[in-house]
Amino acid sequence: MSAILLDAKGQRRLNILLQWAEATALAGHQVPEENHLVMIAHTKVVSVDGDGETVVQMWAPTIEWMLKQAAFGVVEPFLQLPDELQLPVGYVPVPVEMGAMEEPVPPAAAPGAELAAEEVILPDPPLKISPKAAVSRTPKWETAAMEQVQGTIKRCIKPLESLRARDANEGDTRMVVTDLLCEGLDYDKFKDLTTEYMVKQDFADYGVRIDKQMVAFIEVKRISQKLNERHLRQVLMYAVNEGVEWMVLTNGAVWQAYHLTGGLPVVVDLAFEVDLLGPASLAEKTELMFLLHKEALKRRRIDDVWRHRAATEPGALLDVILSEPVLDQLRREVRRRTGIATTAESLSEVIRTEIVDPKLIARLFKVSEAAKR
């Protein structure tokens, strides 16, 4: 078989799989061969033919979970594996009989004889795997939720296109949004959703409850209206006053999910944005909208996505670059390469004024001033 050339994303997937395999093998488990992991990283299909097929299938749910996390940009998803994915499918602990923990006594050797290396008896492996064990690639609830979300997106494409074509008003847009929330994301119209939720003399379009607990506010705009910071400030006010963690802006086609971290000042992070009428594949749209599904939000599947995005957004990375340890290391590297001594303050000024996009600096300043008010 000719060598497989991976693109940058494929190489990241492979690095994740190799690191997971190394750690898992050290823990005493059998893992897929490297060439099989290369093929999986290349195709994103967790399946191989011939030798090694059984081992790959035993770890299929784990590998598929890691590939999904990698698609969202999570760097080391193998460090955050759910408990049920840390062991292969069909794991059966070997029963230990009474007295089995005692140190075995080797048989006495005949005078002058030595035990050959080939005669050393290795202990039994720590686990047994049933090759015929049924493989559950993903939890049943997740499979059902994904199918529900995907089917509803497909059904809503034409109504959304029709709304956009006739520049429908906000009321008509809400009708499609309600269908998406109830038919696609599994919220009960009467138990889980509250329309026109009153917050200090103002009204949020939707309040979303899970197990009677308010978890999100949704602000709906007409389908032709581009979502902007003013709309975010509006729903942010609702969330801050009610102590709600999640905020969603939508015009029916575009959905933006934001996370609110309380404090002084509050921190708002965009978790994801998806355009249901955009060029992304149906699978990509489904994976993102799935994060707002009632069962997924209840299990906080969205947390890793917003944390990663918050940690790697331009403002956060700029803070890292301008931190004292990084500037000090940069100063040392400049001196090593050029022989020129400089200061952290000088480097910070150059980065801010000549390297970083001025629009980013202006946006960060605007956010800082708004937080102070």
Q: What is the per-residue pLDDT for 293?
A: 97
**What average pLDDT does the segment 79-85 reach?**
84
Q: What is the per-residue pLDDT for 47?
A: 85
**What average pLDDT does the segment 9-18 reach?**
89
Q: What is the per-residue pLDDT for 90?
A: 78
Q: Which helix (H) or strand (E) holds 205?
A: strand 202-210
Q: Is the pTM of this model over 0.85?
A: no
User: DSSP H helical segments within the chain, as ranges?
Assistant: 8-26, 34-43, 53-58, 60-71, 140-165, 170-179, 229-242, 282-290, 294-298, 303-312, 314-321, 324-338, 344-350, 358-372
Whether residue 254 is predicted with pLDDT greater than 90 in this model: the reply is yes
Q: What percent of the chain has pLDDT over 70?
A: 83
Q: How far is CA 329 from the centre of its chain?
A: 31
Q: What is the per-residue pLDDT for 241?
A: 87
Whether residue 40 is predicted with pLDDT greater than 70 in this model: the reply is yes
Least confident piece of the model among 70-84, 119-133, 302-316: 119-133
The three-state secondary structure class of 267 is strand
Tell me which residue of 205, 221, 219, 222 sits closest to 169, measured CA to CA. 222
Q: How far apart are CA 193 and CA 214, in angstroms?
A: 9
* Residue 55: CA count within 13 A, CB half-sphere: 15
CB 260 within 8 Å of CB 222 = no
Burial class (CB in 10 A: 0-12, 13-18, 19+), 165: exposed
Average pLDDT value over all residues in the chain: 83
Contacts of 125 (CB under 8 A, 6+ apart): 28, 94
Q: What is the per-residue pLDDT for 265?
A: 82
The one-letter amino acid at 162: S
Sign of the torsion formed by the C-alpha atoms of 53, 129, 131 and 85: negative
